[in-house]
Amino acid sequence: MARLDTLVEHLGRIVAAEGPPPPPAVAEELAEVCAVLDNESPKMRPRDEAGRPGGLVYLRPELPLVVVPDIHGRADLLVTVLSSSFPEYGIDRSLLAMIDEDRAQLLMVGDYVHGEARARDRWVHAFEEYLGGYRKHAAIDEEMRENLTVLRIVAAIKAAYPDRIHGLKGNHENITNENRDGNLPFGKFVYEGEMVAEYMGRYYDGAAYEAVYRFEKSLPLLAVAPRTLISHAEPARLFETDEVIDYRNREEVVYGFTWTDNDAAEQGSVRRMLEHYLPQVQPEDAIYLGGHRPVPELYRLRADGLYVQIHNPDRFIVALPPTGRVFDPDRDVQELPRSEAIFHGEDR
């Protein structure tokens, strides 16, 4: 419990901080989690030919699993998830407490940064600041406060529980706005990717910028659970095991798990993925979860009902793959009431 208390206090300070965090804190915390990611168990993340953890992560089959879709700067989403309990799934105390007791696990599907429609007006103001050379930067400061707060939370919890908390790479994990390694420059409302890259180069240049970049490059792409596959986006095609493990050398693999648009995947790709990675389960008895493209309600079914999109940027959604029965999206995709506390009092 001492470790948990210390972690909760640290998370509380991160969430309560005003303004963007100091660069040394970002550099130190992201470097720490990068060291964790670089040394993950080969049984959990098989190594590529260079000895680096690959793009495939095997989740622990005996632990209840909570899956969180795209975060996009919503630290309050992470706080709510960590504070929530799910008794029907064996998580009868706050998720963070259960993770600390080695009784639950958490998977995040990526896209930790860049506020979406809720931040549209802020992006427009930030664009004006960008055109002015960031001589004024109140709007982009608030955007980056949210983004870096989320990254610090993810880094802290992953470093504390490396085998129970995992984060996948999404298409927004591209801090330099590069056009390579399966990444594309990003812009939805204005030039968000370029604006963030410029901001980081001005105010976080050096160790902090490098640590965020390295963190993004270290994230896996595909998670495997007993009846479930999870990636950020719908898989563009069947990516076989050796391809996913060798993702650092295969741009197509990174792109195919993070950028695939609706109706852009090869016909039958989800079914073939399920058959390849879960050969002991009939595809109709398994499920593939992802986010990436927004949905208007709690979820959207694709790929003949085998793929469940769960990214609603206006609601706090989680998916809870059961272990003893077939996934039922009406039951196992849930909206959470918002919480402002890392812990409820009865959990301490």
Buried b (16+ CB within 10 A) or exposed e, 123-152: bebbbebbeeebeebebbbbbbbbbbbbbb
The CATH number of the domain holding residue 251 is 3.60.21.10
| CA–CA–CA angle 79, 81, 87 (5° rounding) | 140
Instruction: Count the domains in the chain.
Output: 1
Instruction: Tell me if 189 is assigned to some domain.
Output: no
Residue 135 domain flag: no
pLDDT confidence of residue 111: 97
Residue 238, classed as helix, strand or coil, is: coil
What pLDDT shows up at residue 1? 62
Instruction: Find out whether 200 and 175 touch, Cβ atoms under 8 Å.
Output: yes
pLDDT in tens, 90-149: 999 999 999 999 999 999 999 999 999 999 999 999 999 999 999 999 999 999 999 999
Is residue 136 assigned to a domain?
Answer: no
92 belongs to a structural domain: yes
Q: What is the pTM of this model?
A: 0.96
d(CA 214, CA 220): 12
What mean pLDDT is predicted for residues 296-318? 97
Q: What is the pLDDT of residue 322?
A: 95
Helix H or strand E encompassing 209: helix 207-218
Residue 143 lies in a domain: no
Whether 139 maps to a domain, the answer reads: no
Nearest-CA neighbor of 212 among 278, 297, 148?
148
Interval 201-235: pLDDT, tens:
999 999 999 999 999 999 999 999 999 999 999 99
| Residue 120 falls inside a structural domain | no
* Domain encompassing residue 341: 2-114+148-178+205-347
Where residue 3 falls among pLDDT bands split at 50, 70, 90?
Answer: confident
In a domain, 199, yes or no: no
> Is the pLDDT assigned to residue 264 strictly greater than 60?
yes
| CA distances, 24 to each of 14, 31, 188 (Å) | 14, 10, 30
